[in-house]
Amino acid sequence: MNQHPIIEDPGIIPAARVVVVVENSTFRTEVSSEHGLALWIEIPGHQLLFDTGQSGLLRENTDALGLPLARVGSIILSHGHRDHSGGLAAALEAAPGATLYAHPNALKPKFVKCAKAGHSHRPVTEFGMPPQAEAAIRELGRRLVPTTHPTTIRGGVGITGAIPRRHSYEVVAGRFYHDEACQKPDPMSDDQAIFFEAPEGLILLLGCAHAGVVNTMEYVAELTGHNRFYCVMGGMHLESASRTRSRQSSGVAPMSSSVVNRSGTNPGGNGPSPSTARPKR
């Protein structure tokens, strides 16, 4: 039985197209890959970007795929990490009329403590939004919309805003900080997801799911009053998850027809893996 929704029901989107533009694995020779994520979402009368990858590769790949970046009306950042926000300046240059939706904490300094030896030349790496992206944001004026709370944008696409952390097994502590000395933990409160309702059920797109896959799905179900997900797709950070977290994340499968995890594991769904192309050599 559906619960009473917290946000106004924008209605069902009759048709939608989601294209992975930037990702760390590829299957088509005309585009390249990098560590990062950018998704192109096309619904009737509106084109959106969810994240922008790590560099200007976004523009190269949209050109190669025939996606008119200049027509993008909305850009949503899942969070402020560089591999999701690094292509923002290039995106805003190509789509000068776009409105940016981001949590204010996405602009805070961000550092990551490397978990594995050899992963980086330094034990702590600056991993926040690059200066050119910050400069592009300062020029937006009214076209910057802070998403501290759930927001519905043009076409019926919802943005979660900050996601409640209700399951302790999904809390990832000890890696993310606001300072290089690692004295100020970053709770990743800027992490957010986007969602919309298709005829088959809810579509949920995740950037990295730092708030947790289960936390995010349960919050979207609470926001919409619906608990049937047709597709959950995006980064989930489950490759090094605890056994408890992996088991609990697998438990969401009955809620969804397709759970596609960009970190390389599939917590129970049978959906196709949406990648772009093989890396150019």
Determine which of 25-29, 188-192, 237-241 has the lowest per-residue pLDDT on average: 237-241
The residue ranking higher by pLDDT, 175 or 270, is: 175
Answer yes or no: is pLDDT of 5 > 90.
Answer: no
Higher pLDDT, 83 or 115: 83
Q: What integer pLDDT is reported at residue 9 of this predicted model?
A: 74
User: Measured between alpha carbons, how far is 249 from 238 in angstroms, rounded to an integer?
Assistant: 9
Helices 243-250 and 213-224 pack at an angle, to 10 degrees, of: 30
Mean pLDDT of the chain: 83
Nearest to 268 by CA among 255, 256, 247, 250: 250
What mean pLDDT is predicted for residues 180-194?
A: 95
112, 214, 215 from 238: Cα distances, Å: 17, 12, 14
* CATH match of 17-261 with 3.60.15.10: yes
Q: Tell me: the pLDDT tens digits for 131-156? A: 999 999 999 988 999 999 999 998 89
Q: Collect all residues with Cβ–Cβ distance below 8 Å to 52 and sequence separation of at least 6.
A: 22, 38, 58, 75, 77, 84, 85, 86, 87, 88, 90, 91
Q: Where are the domains of the chain?
A: 17-261
Rounded average pLDDT over 228-244: 78
Query: What integer is the mean pLDDT of 153-170?
Result: 91
The confidence score (pLDDT) of residue 169 equals 82
| Cross-sheet strand order for the sheet of 99-102 | 17-22, 38-43, 46-50, 74-76, 99-102, 144-146
Write out pLDDT tens, residues 27-60.
888 899 999 999 999 999 999 999 999 999 999 9
What percent of the chain stands above pLDDT 90?
Answer: 64
- Closest Cα to residue 190, out of 35, 77, 113, 49? 77
| pLDDT level of residue 247 (50, 70, 90 thresholds) | low
